[in-house]
Amino acid sequence: MNDSNWSSGMGWGMWVIPPVVIIIIVIIVLKRNRNSK
């Protein structure tokens, strides 16, 4: 049971991390664009 829970936890992390990274990159780009203008 513990192994299955750990596996599902890892899968959850793999699904959550990429979108968060993309959002952070978008925010940085928007801030740079505002500063440039």
Per-residue model confidence as pLDDT tens digits over 1-37? 456 665 666 676 777 788 899 999 999 999 999 987 6
Distance CA 24, CA 32 (A): 12
Distance CA 37, CA 32 (A): 9
Distance CA 26, CA 23 (A): 5
- Residue 12 domain boundaries: 1-37
- Kindly report the pTM of this predicted structure: 0.53
Report the greatest alpha carbon distance in the chain. 55
Q: Check residue 37 and report its DSSP letter.
A: -
Distance CA 2, CA 9 (A): 10
